[in-house]
Every structure is written in structure tokens, then in C-alpha cells.
Amino acid sequence: MALILPNHLTVKEGHLYIGKHDCVSLAEEYGTPLYVTDEERLRSNFTRYDEALKKHYPDVQLLYAAKANGNLTIMKIFASLGAGADVFSSGELHMALLAGMPPEKLLFNGSSKTREDLSLAVEKGVKVSLDSFDELRQLNEIAGEAGKIVEVSFRINPAIDVPTHPKIATGLATSKFGIKADQIVDAYRAAMECPNVVPVGMHCHIGSQILDVEPFAKAAEIMVRVAGEITDLGVRLSFIDIGGGLGIPYNHETEVAPTPQEYADAVVPVFLKGIQKLGIKPQLWVEPGRNLVGDTTVLLSKVNSVKTSHKKFVNIDAGFNLLLRPAMYDSYHEVIVANKADMERDTEYTVTGPICETGDIIAADRKLPRTEDGDIVAILDTGAYGYSMASQYNCRPRCPEVMVFGERSGIMRRGESVIDILNTMKKLPWHEK
């Protein structure tokens, strides 16, 4: 079966192209391993998502989930298109502000924030999504000491089972995230009693890589129902945040994903019906991560060796140090031999990384063209949770990230060196001669 490629990936004269760029030439110019992102695709993904929702309701705010890909260049592009961000740490908050996102479009999420995190949120004037009663008490104290009033939401656990990998289902009744249904009203009541905190929103996020719109519609229904209970308490809701989670097709032969329009068509009417019934007009916030960045990026890697053992292994120079998803979530990523992209895929290989772990497998039992050392493989759909989850395991410096835009290409993050790794290490005083 032929692979269905998104329109920024094409095959010309046997080579895989990203935008106008030959992946083989990029690998030669910048070296491997190498992340390459297409700026046009990034922009069109954002616009498509934004427009799909705004067709139903003009008062929509997209909050890009910064953890999916925290490169500052990418955050700046989204900022210029009007995005805010869902940030999950002080570091991500700094990045979002640096990218030019206004504080009022930022929501500081997290189930285990430090007092320093909360102080930063207070100082910068961003909204905080609270995940526990302890956090409410701490934030009220910190805001009080600073003489400020902080706008908050609670993360609500909608207790719904979603069809995705258990490690990325975040809205189950048993999840570590959010406030249980029977404690939500108490949480808002407690917030209303805090002099330095104002509850103005509601937040949920049911999980990631979800390929069905039904769970999102169900979550929206739960959110507007809870909005009724909260409004009855006297809370004036200025936003309802329904989280992110819309998946993308990783298997380009078999998987289909709902489009952002199909997502919007299923979810926004439920939200609208609910708020009309309550006579309120909150902003609708959504927090896509993967859907905006996932398919924009390929990871290019060189074949170091091919070995026939009990099966045929293709040993490449990128492993779970750079792309953790297959090892962490058993994820599927399409692999294309970029310099043999039009050749028949007639040989079965397992593509493995250079890390000293049996589990360092990027793709198992895949049909590829006859592959040899020096070939360049492209691992598709690595824009989300790729570089952002990369590590220096095995003392391997992280690779560069390149952006392409029309005819142009440039480095948006340089590769690290072993010196970068060494620079953080210190000699202990009692070991000095």
C-alpha cells in the first residue's frame, strides 16, 4: 500500500522533500541526526484549527500546549498568529513570555507546582489552573504577600475513559490530574472565600492522541454542566478551557484522524448549547499541542550499519535519546528511506537507535527498500513530544533543529556538544588537590 503523505512532504526523483528542501541535502548540509520543521505547515496547522473553531463561536482563544515543542522560534510564530499558551512549568512560562505571548493568554497548569512557580505566576500576572486545595491555600497566601489578586480556574477531572495509550489518558477517574467531581463545588466555594484569588475559569484536559471526537464532546458536556453548578454559586466565568488532545494519523497507511473542523463541529455546539442555557458568554479556550506541531517535523538520521541477525536490523544515529515516543508509549512513526523514497519497500527491517538499551527501537518489523549504510532515513511526525522529550542519555549531545520556509533554511537550535554536557559538572572541593 502507498503511504499517504501530508502535502508538505513530497517525493521527487527518488528523494523525500520537506517543503522545497531535499531531505538528503539537508542531512548533508547540517549533519545527522537532525530535526527539520516546515514553517508553512506550522502556520497552516494553526490557522486551520483556529478557523474551524471560530466558525462556530468567535470568542475562541487557542492556547498552544508548550510541552509539545518548546522551541522559542515555534512559540514566536504561534504568538504572532494570536496564540496564548498552556504552560506546565516556570521554564515554559518564561519561554511563552519571551515569545511575546501576553500574560492574559497564558494558563499555568500543573499538578505539582512549587511555591516558586506560584510566585512567578503571581508576579507575571498569568492565570493559574489549580489542581488541589493545598495549591489554592498556597496561592492565596503568596498573592496576599505580593498584594495581588490572581485569577484562577480549577482543573476538573471529568472521569472519562478515552481510547488512547494509558500513559496519555489524563482524565480518568484514577488519574493524578484534576479535582474529583464531588469536590468541585467545594473547591470553587473555597476559592470564593480567598481574598487574593478570584475563580474565573474552568479547565480540563482528557488526554492526548485521541482519534475520536466523541470523548471531547462528552467532556464539553460535563464542563458546561459543572459550569451551571459553579455559576449558581456566584462565580462569573470568563473562560472555559476544554484542553487539547486531538490526535494525528501516525500510521500513514491505516490511521485516519478527525480534522480540526470535525472536532469543532462535534464539540463547539455542545459548549454553545450549554452556555446559552445558562445565559453566560465565557471565552472558549482550547489547548492543542500535537495537532499543531506533530506533522510539521521530520527527524533525519543516518544508517550506520545494517545487520542480519534473527532479523534484519537497520542501526541509525537517532534513538530514544532524541525520540522517546516509541520506547515510552509504543508509538508508531512512519520511516522513509529519504534517498530511496520511490523504491519498492520489499524488505522487512527493525530500525534501532544507538542507545545501550534493548528497548531502543524506533520502528519494528517495517517494510523498507533494500537499505545500506550511509542511507538517510526520515522519521515522520516528530514535531510533537520529539525534541521536547529528548535527553542526553549515554552522554549523547542533543541534535540541532532546523526550520525551512520556502527556499530558506536555518538553524533554530544548535546541536549540543560533549563540552555542553561537561560544563554543568563540578569538581568537589574535597577532591581538589
Ligand X SMILES: *Cc1c(COP(=O)(O)O)cnc(C)c1O
Beta bridge partners of 376: 302
Q: Which of residues 151-210 bind ligand X (CB under 6 A)?
A: 205, 208
Q: Which stretch binds ligand X (CB under 6 A): 74-82, 218-226, 239-247, 299-307?
A: 239-247
Out of 171, 243, 260, 369, the residue judged to bind ligand X by CB under 6 A: 243
Q: Which of residues 383-412 bind ligand X (CB under 6 A)?
A: 384
Minimum distance between the CB of residue 77 and ligand X, rounded to whole angstroms?
17
Out of 8, 21, 67, 345, the residue judged to bind ligand X by CB under 6 A: 67
Minimum distance between the CB of residue 328 and ligand X, rounded to whole angstroms?
14
Q: Residue 126, SS3?
A: coil
Which residue of the set 23, 194, 356, 399 is catalytic? 356
For residue 312, the Cα-to-chain-centroid distance in whole angstroms is: 33
Question: What is the Cα–Cα distance from 132 to 111, expressed in whole angstroms?
Answer: 8
Residue 356: active-site member: yes
Q: Closer to ligand X by CB, 325 or 340: give it.
A: 325
Q: Closer to ligand X by CB, 126 or 316: give it.
A: 126
Out of 21, 127, 290, 398, the residue judged to bind ligand X by CB under 6 A: 290
DSSP state of 374: T
Q: Closer to ligand X by CB, 205 or 302: give it.
A: 205
Q: Which stretch binds ligand X (CB under 6 A): 111-119, 253-261, 281-289, 321-329?
A: 281-289
User: Which amino acid, residue 2?
Assistant: A
Question: What is the Cα–Cα distance from 129 to 285, expressed in whole angstroms?
Answer: 13
Binding residues: 245, 287-290, 325, 329, 357, 385
Beta bridge partners of 405: 408
The residue nearest ligand X at its CB is 289
Q: Which stretch binds ligand X (CB under 6 A): 69-77, 141-149, 237-245, 401-409?
A: 237-245
Cell of 280: 453566560
- Stretch 91-120: interaction string toward ligand X, x if CB under 6 A: ------------------x-----------
Out of 65, 179, 237, 267, the residue judged to bind ligand X by CB under 6 A: 65
Minimum distance between the CB of residue 1 and ligand X, rounded to whole angstroms?
27
If one asks whether residue 68 binds ligand X (CB under 6 A), the answer comes out as: yes
Minimum distance between the CB of residue 56 and ligand X, rounded to whole angstroms?
19
Contact call for residues 253 and 3 (beta carbons, < 8 A): yes
Beta bridge partners of 368: 347
Size of the site for ligand X (CB under 6 A): 16
For residue 112, the Cα-to-chain-centroid distance in whole angstroms is: 19
Out of 171, 199, 201, 245, the residue judged to bind ligand X by CB under 6 A: 245
Minimum distance between the CB of residue 177 and ligand X, rounded to whole angstroms?
8
Enumerate long-range contacts of 176-184, CB under 8 Å, 24 or more apart. Answer: 176/111, 177/111, 177/131, 177/205, 178/111, 178/131, 178/154, 178/204, 179/131, 179/132, 179/154, 179/155, 181/156, 181/157, 181/226, 184/154, 184/156, 184/226, 184/229, 184/230
Contact call for residues 372 and 306 (beta carbons, < 8 A): yes
If one asks whether residue 244 binds ligand X (CB under 6 A), the answer comes out as: yes
Question: What is the Cα–Cα distance from 169 to 417, expressed in whole angstroms?
Answer: 36
Question: What is the Cα–Cα distance from 133 to 232, expressed in whole angstroms?
Answer: 21
| Element spanning 53, H or E | helix 39-54
Active-site positions read: 356
Provide the binding-site residues for ligand X, judged by CB under 6 A. 65, 67-68, 86, 109, 205, 208, 243-245, 287-291, 384
